[in-house]
């Protein structure tokens, strides 16, 4: 069965960096696009970034472009997001999600999420 | 960027009643590439509907989606206790960004 497990969250000071990982299993990771989606406490879902199946294309939301970098290692079945210059408004549960296709469409499987808190 | 506006913000209904949720896009969604997700407290979202009207694997047939262009609807024909949750629409027709609606909470009346 498809499993996505996020790790790397925690409390970080404003301006600092953090890298999240998402370990994938139960499917051929290298065939699917992958996303990060976040949810601030008590708020709705916000799409963050997507990476194509082979890493050839990446897109970001306006709110994180230039600060976050999505990447993947298909040999390790792992998705990453490097988050730099973190702000209080980046505080959220971060979900990794599998795209139904090799690029982007609907998100058919989600991880359980990992909390990132940006606070001094 | 396509903005999705969901209404109402909260829907108060009783089990067995019909729920109708709306999602309106700021511009036409190409190929009706619109999905609906259900999220319960403390859980990740779950895909319900894709391409505006196709049910995802394992989704009961009391859930249905319809619409095209800029206006989309999710209908739950008869609410079961486990259906009380928050529902989000999401478009994937844009070539630059995915977007989610703000959500509709379906609560027990």
Q: 3-state DSSP call for residue A83? A: strand
Nearest Cα residue to B51 out of A52, A106, A107: A106
Mutate to test the interface with B, among A51, A68, A96, A107 (most CBs of B within 10 A): A107
pLDDT, one tens digit per residue, over B83-100 is 999 999 999 988 778 999
DSSP string, B75-108: EESS--GGG-SEEEEEE---SS--EE---EEEEE
pLDDT, one tens digit per residue, over B100-109 is 999 999 999 9
Tokens at residue A110, please?
């989600």
Tokens at residue A65, please?
């472009």
pLDDT, one tens digit per residue, over B29-76 is 999 999 999 999 999 999 999 999 999 999 999 999 999 999 999 999
B17 to chain A, closest Cα gap in Å: 25
Q: 3-state DSSP call for residue A10? A: strand
pLDDT at A6 over 80: yes
Q: Does residue A63 sit at the B interface (CB-CB below 8 Å)?
A: no
What's the confidence (pLDDT) of residue B97?
86
Chain A residues with beta carbon closer than 8 angstroms to that of B37: 45, 107
Cα gap A33→A102, rounded to integer Å: 5
Residues A40-53 have a mean pLDDT of: 96
Report A:38-57 residues touching B (Cβ under 8 A). Answer: 44-47, 50
Tokens at residue B62, please?
């009391």
Kindly determine whether residue B97 and residue A110, on different chains, have CB atoms separated by under 8 Å.
no
Q: Mean of the per-residue pLDDT values for chain A?
A: 96
Kindly determine whether residue B39 and residue A45, on different chains, have CB atoms separated by under 8 Å.
yes
Element (H, E) at A94: strand A92-99
């Amino acid at each position: 069965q498809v499993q996505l497990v996020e790790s790397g969250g925690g409390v970080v000071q404003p301006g600092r960096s953090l890298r999240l990982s998402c370990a994938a299993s139960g499917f051929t990771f290298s065939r699917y696009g992958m996303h990060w989606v976040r949810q601030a406490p008590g708020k709705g879902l916000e799409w963050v970034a997507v990476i194509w199946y082979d890493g050839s294309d990446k897109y970001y939301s306006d709110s994180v472009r230039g600060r976050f970098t999505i990447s993947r290692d298909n040999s390790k079945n792992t998705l990453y997001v490097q988050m730099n210059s973190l702000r209080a408004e980046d505080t959220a549960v971060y979900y990794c999600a599998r795209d139904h296709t090799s690029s982007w469409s609907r998100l058919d499987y989600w991880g359980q999420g990992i909390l990132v808190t940006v606070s001094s | 960027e396509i903005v999705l506006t969901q209404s109402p913000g909260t829907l108060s209904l009783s089990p067995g009643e019909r729920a109708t949720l709306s999602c309106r896009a700021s511009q036409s969604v190409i190929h009706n590439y619109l999905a609906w997700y259900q999220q319960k407290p403390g859980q990740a979202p779950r895909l319900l509907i894709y391409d505006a009207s196709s049910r995802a694997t394992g989704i009961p047939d009391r859930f249905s989606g319809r619409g095209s262009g800029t206006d989309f609807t999710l209908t739950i024909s008869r609410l079961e206790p486990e259906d009380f949750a928050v529902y989000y629409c999401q478009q994937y027709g844009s070539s630059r960004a995915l977007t989610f609606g703000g959500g509709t909470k379906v609560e027990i009346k």
